[in-house]
Amino acid sequence: MRTEDQIKRKLNELTMQHKNLRSTIAEENAAAHPHLQRLEDMIALLEWVLNAPSGSYHNS
C-alpha cells in the first residue's frame, strides 16, 4: 500500500505532465487526445484516494 506522501508526489507528477501536454497541443485537439484523457483519469483517481468519501452509500 502506498503512503499518503507517495500518492501526493505521484499526483503532483501527473499534474505537471498534464500541464506540459496541455501546453503543447491545440485546444480543439485536447478533448480527443488519448494520453491527456488517461492523465485526467489517473489524476481524478488519485484525488479520490486522497479525499475518499466517508460514510456509507446505503442508509441503515
Contact 43, 15 (CB under 8 A): yes
Domains contained in the chain, number: 1
23, part of any domain: yes
Contact 11, 46 (CB under 8 A): yes
21, part of any domain: yes
At 56 the pLDDT is 73
Contact 18, 40 (CB under 8 A): yes
58, part of any domain: no
What's the predicted TM-score (pTM) here? 0.78
22, part of any domain: yes
Range of the domain at 41: 4-48
31, part of any domain: yes
Query: pLDDT tens per residue, the chain (60 residues)?
Result: 789 999 999 999 999 999 999 888 877 777 778 899 999 999 999 999 998 777 777 665
